[in-house]
Structure 1
Amino acid sequence: MNEIIEYFDHTQYKQARPSYPPKVFEIIAKHLKCLPVKNIVDVGCGSGQASFGLLNYGEHVLGIDLSPVQIQGAREEILRRKIDPNRIDFQISGSNAIPVEDHSVDLLTVAQAIHWFDLEEFYKEAKRVLVPGGSAAIWCYDMARVMNNDTVERAFSNLHSGILKNYWTKHRELVDNGYKDLNPPFKHVERFQAILEHSTDIEGLLVYIGTWSSVHEYKKAHPDQDCCADLKKVLDACAPDTVFQLQSTIHMLLVRD
């Protein structure tokens, strides 16, 4: 699990990774029996991309992550947003040791993270902490597509599916399959999709790429080479104020016993 901490730089992650659209939370809300629920735990929360959006659906949100830097960044975000600290907290913890009592959580969420977990251990822990009838919402988003510039999209696609093809970790396979191979051991499993859209400039696109695990693996293998060299040549031909429209598909599972 230490590889997760190594890959994800808090500053880059917060700057480049998109927040989740209202549709994600609307799907979750329709799945829940009543709102607001009492306790929500966001597992593998990173810097809180999903955690803060969950405040509208629960009395208290706890985000947990293995990265001390990510957790510190999320705590700073509480202050920046001037949110009541009694409503949300962030703690350093793993998916196999959720720091709450048995059967005390109404909703577990895992956003773009479960593919890093020991699934057997996480499912066991989820069943321990969820209240009877409690739910888990699990989702990922697939590789973004550049919607408004075909030339950049070709170079971008060649980077993630060509140059970096052999440098993605094994965890990526679950994401690429839209979590279709994920089969949580719960009685009720529903699947949904939503669209994730965000815009970014040239710098933001390169920072986003810098958060990919495959880029870190490539740098280890080729410390003197720039995997983004071809893409940068294409970006150099773009106007400095170019804005790219990115789109991904969110794949969701909502589960309960």
Structure 2
Amino acid sequence: MSYQYFEIPDHAIVYNKFRPSTPKEIAEKIVDYLKQEVTDLALAVDVGCGSGQSTEVLAPYFQTVIGIDPSETQIVEAQKNNTIPNIVYRVGSAEKILSPSGSVQLVTAGQSCHWFDMKKFYAEVERLLVPGGVLAIYGYFLPRPHFPGKSEDLCSVVDKFYSDVLGKYVLPESKKVYIDNYKGGDFMHFPFTKQPVMRDESVTTETDATVADLVGYISSWSAFQNYVKLEGKTQGTMVLQKFEKEVMNILNATSAPAETRITIKYKYFLIMGRK
């Protein structure tokens, strides 16, 4: 599992601050699907939980939710901010999850399984799940910033920054989520499912944000972290400042980036299969 880009302490803080939380609609779709065959919701395991955005949304539905991530800095951040008593965070691997066989009703992976060894992960999921239990993996497309009359230009700036500025620094794993949207490879072919795998792209969220929030989110990308690793922090700051300036120019904004309001939309894709 490739996770070295999430080991920088400051990156975990940035990730927690700017990454979107999993929308309630995603959790509801997952739980509704699970309840078609399993109603005793004792335990869910959220793999690649990061700083907890994908874990918290499951807490109302299960007796216990375990969030697992290989990055100690991410788990420290998750534990520091956790106020929900039935959530437990721990450092761990997607390919070797320390829970008893047949003890889990739901395994989720939000914006994370592109980092996994999927063959080993699927074997662990099959071991963990009760009969009728569900694996749900999901992610979201590149962010879509919106402002009246300016949305197309804003989205174009984001796309160009990702493809042109960061293009050669984008890790192969990241392309599976932002470019392929989990449509290829192993993502649509769970080997243990007794029913056809379901794909749903009906959930889109809107977040009231600022230009500074958009820049902060982009700084959390593994591609940007890779850029900084190879080119240095000074150069990384410069390209972010240039991106921010382009966005502000499109908006004709005279306020500070932290005070310039926009809307950011995230379109989600959800894939579910049942043991």
Q: TM-score if structure 2 supplies the norm length? A: 0.85
Question: What one-letter code is carried by the residue in structure 2 that aligns with 1:184?
Answer: F
Question: What one-letter code is carried by the residue in structure 2 that aligns with 1:214?
Answer: A
Please give the per-residue CA displacement for 1:165-193, whole angstroms capped at 9, x wherever unaligned: 22111012221222111222123211111
In 2: Cα distance, 1:4 partner to 1:115 partner? 14
SS in 2 for 1:219: helix
When the two structures are aligned, how many residues end up with a matched partner? 252
Asked if residue 184 in structure 1 is aligned to residue 190 in structure 2, the reply is: yes
After alignment, is 222-231 or 239-248 more displaced? 222-231
In 2: Cα distance, 1:35 partner to 1:199 partner? 36
Higher strand proportion: 1
SS in 1 for 2:209: strand
Question: What one-letter code is carried by the residue in structure 2 that aligns with 1:76?
Answer: K
Q: Summarize the alignment of residues 93-172 of structure 1 with structure 2, pairs less than 5 Å apart.
A: 93-148=92-147, 149-150=150-151, 151-172=153-174
Q: TM-score if structure 1 supplies the norm length? A: 0.91
Q: Summarize the alignment of residues 28-43 of structure 1 with structure 2, pairs less than 5 Å apart.
A: 28-33=30-35, 34-35=38-39, 37-43=41-47
Please tell me whether the aligned partners of residues 103 and 128 of structure 1 are also in contact (alpha carbons under 8 angstroms): yes
Please give the per-residue CA displacement for 1:26-51, whole angstroms capped at 9, x wherever unaligned: 11122012546111000011111121
Q: Summarize the alignment of residues 1-257 of structure 1 with structure 2, pairs less than 5 Å apart.
A: 1-6=2-7, 9-33=11-35, 34-35=38-39, 37-78=41-82, 81=83, 83-84=84-85, 87-148=86-147, 149-150=150-151, 151-175=153-177, 176-181=179-184, 182=187, 183-185=189-191, 186-188=193-195, 189-193=197-201, 194-223=203-232, 224-225=234-235, 226-237=238-249, 238=253, 239-240=255-256, 241-257=259-275
Please tell me whether the aligned partners of residues 215 and 227 of structure 1 are also in contact (alpha carbons under 8 angstroms): no
Please tell me whether the aligned partners of residues 6 and 12 of structure 2 are also in contact (alpha carbons under 8 angstroms): no
Cα separation, partners in 2 of 1:5 and 1:218, compared to 1, 3 Å: closer
Any unmatched runs of 5+ in structure 1? none
Any unmatched runs of 5+ in structure 2? none
SS in 2 for 1:146: strand
Please tell me whether the aligned partners of residues 66 and 90 of structure 2 are also in contact (alpha carbons under 8 angstroms): yes
After alignment, is 218-227 or 88-97 more displaced? 218-227
Question: What one-letter code is carried by the residue in structure 2 that aligns with 1:139?
Answer: Y
Aligned-pair CA distance for 1:65? 0.6
Question: What one-letter code is carried by the residue in structure 1 that aligns with 2:122?
Answer: Y
- RMSD after superposition: 1.8
Identity fraction in percent: 30
SS in 1 for 2:7: helix
Question: What one-letter code is carried by the residue in structure 1 that aligns with 2:94?
Answer: S
In 1: Cα distance, 2:154 partner to 2:137 partner? 31
